[in-house]
Amino acid sequence: MPSGIGARAAETGALLALGSFRLAAALARSRGRSRAAVTAEVAVRTLERLGPTYIKLGQILATRRDLLPESAVVELERLQDRVRPASFDDVPALFRRELGVSPEDVLSELDPVPVACGGVACVYRGRLRDGSAVAIKVRRPDVARRIHLDLRLLRFGARALTLLPPLRRLPLVEGIDEFGAGLRRQIDFRLEAEANRRIRGAVSGERNVLVPRLVDELSSESLLTMELLPVGSARRDARCVPALLAALHALYRMIFVDGFVHCDLHGANLFLFPDGTAALVDFGFVAELPTETRLTFAEFFLAMASDDGRRCARITVETASFVPPELDYPAFEGEVCRLVSRAAGASIEDFSVAGFVGGLFDIQRRHRVVGTSEFVMAIVALLVFEGTAKTVAGGIDFGSEAAPFVMQALGERMEAGRSAALAEVEAALSAA
């Protein structure tokens, strides 16, 4: 391994070993605290020390209340926007280097205390010369290099793990590659700015959904300036169910209608207000769904809701990026049918997106069927949103709320099929 990788590997190993030692010591003196809470507390400190790649992994875990104890989730949620801040001293130099101006040239105020800190960036409150309040997202120093090294190490580790017989069938390398692609997008704020514009356009039909406007002249690869939304009045309780539904409708519109999806709507990126308004922020983790993928996902969603397991199985195989030649399709189809029947028969309170997806992925792993990354990203978006939704309301009917958007997508597919059929008839008549 090159020296940079070797040094990072040694640092990572040392931090993991130190974290293990601290965990053993913390558990020994926990006295009445749950093991889950103590473990999560030490894990959060260790992930922070490991840096942005591992902080992102912790953020993903923090959305899974259905998979982790509440005490562990509460600790992990700190990684969404309460990571230790970077030094403010680097901010003026970054303004001069990337924008050619000093902060005082374009801002009447800039609070040096960040309002939120994640693994990749810190967000500061400022005010333009015209009095407009803005939020300024500033990338942490050296974050791109650290992420690059971490992803190379994780890929090396994933490749090594697939040599073990029990793990040979798992798409570990593909999973790391997909995670890495999403993470790399988050460190170039020019890509996030473009995603902000696209999602603003995508959800413009949802009048109760806010997306912050950008200040283009004060944005660059490492700086992103946007209007400051009134997130201080946001809530996460039953009063915000209408806002949660507005956000869910916006997500469904992205998945089924527009094909450009915010995949990271956890509690620090989705703000809900008692007046029924929802605000979406942080557009670093997004996915683009090709038209065929978007329409096929709508078909799959409808098949799942209508207890058509055979159709779900067929779509899963037809859209897979890899299907083993020796696939026992009748067995695969039977397992998918049983999973779909359980989901279709569950009450609103008992249905879980995570439970269904976990079951489907388990079937695919056992039969060595590897899904496409686009399908996985659409599912990840729903998983993350469900984790957030459970903090506000547990009885949302994800199926019925999706119906108008699924039907719009399927109508588009029918119209495309009708147009293709007419073109074929016209061609045949012309030939005759």
pLDDT of 397: 82
Cβ atoms of 263 and 380 closer than 8 Å: yes
d(CA 282, CA 326): 43
> What are the pLDDT digits (tens) for 113-146?
999 888 899 999 999 999 999 999 999 988 989 9
pLDDT less than 70: residues of the chain: 1-3, 63-67, 169-171, 394, 416-432
Contacts of 159 (CB under 8 A, 6+ apart): 172, 173
Core vs surface per residue 292-318: b (16+ CB within 10 A) or e: ebbbbbbbbbbbbbeebbebbbbbbbe
Res 208: pLDDT: 92
Among residues 292, 303, 199, which one has the least CA distance to residue 251?
199
C-alpha distances in angstroms, 196 versus 11, 17, 211, 379, 422? Answer: 36, 40, 7, 21, 38
Inter-residue contact 94 to 222 (CB < 8 Å): yes
Output the pTM of the full model: 0.78
Rounded Cα distance, 286 and 289, in Å: 10
- Our CA angle for 340, 300, 425, nearest 5°, is 140
Cα(217)–Cα(293) distance, integer angstroms: 36
What is the pLDDT, as a whole number, of residue 1?
43
pLDDT of residue 2: 46
pLDDT at 67: 58
Residue 28's contacts (CB-CB under 8 Å, 6 or more residues apart) are: none
Contact indicator for 354, 386 with CB cutoff of 8 Å: yes
